[in-house]
Amino acid sequence: MAGSTLLLSVIATATVIMAVVQIGVVVFASRLAKRVSRLVDVIEHEIKPTLARVDAVSSDVARVTSLASNQAERLDQITSQLIEKIDDILTVADRSVFAPLKQGAGFLFGLRAALSAFRDESTQSQPPPSSDSTSSTSE
């Protein structure tokens, strides 16, 4: 029986040691959980203002993007209106200035051609000077 008592006492001692180790692990885990909890609280406390600033910046960026988009649309409208106005001005200038100039230029070219034709007729109707009369007077 002494052998079985010895084995029982070894088993009891091992069980007590295991229980003490387990209690130590539980206490250590509890302290670690408290520290992690405090760390999370500190991080949340530090990050909240940063997240609020990020949210504010995000809303500002969204507002600026919207304004830029609106301004780009306005610029597009103004540009297309400007192009239409320039086209209208060029059309009016063509009708009221360049068309009469073209007609006037055509009239002048016709008058020039008529005068040129008249001048050609008048030079053809005059007799050319004879070479005999100049030679007889020189003799």
pLDDT > 90? residue 133: no
Q: Break the chain down into helix, strand, coil percent, rounded to 5.
A: 95, 0, 5
Determine, yes or no, domain membership for 131. Answer: no
Determine, yes or no, domain membership for 128. Answer: no
Determine, yes or no, domain membership for 132. Answer: no
Task: Give strand ranges (E) for the chain.
Answer: none
Residue ranges making up the domain that contains 34: 2-121
- Cα 103 to Cα 121: distance, rounded to the nearest angstrom: 27
Determine, yes or no, domain membership for 98. Answer: yes
Determine, yes or no, domain membership for 113. Answer: yes
> pLDDT tens-digit profile of 51-99?
899 999 999 999 999 999 999 999 999 999 999 999 999 888 888 877 7
> pLDDT tens-digit profile of 105-124?
888 888 888 888 878 776 76
Give the total number of structural domains in the chain.
1
Determine, yes or no, domain membership for 129. Answer: no
Determine, yes or no, domain membership for 11. Answer: yes
The pTM assigned to this predicted structure is 0.42
Determine, yes or no, domain membership for 127. Answer: no
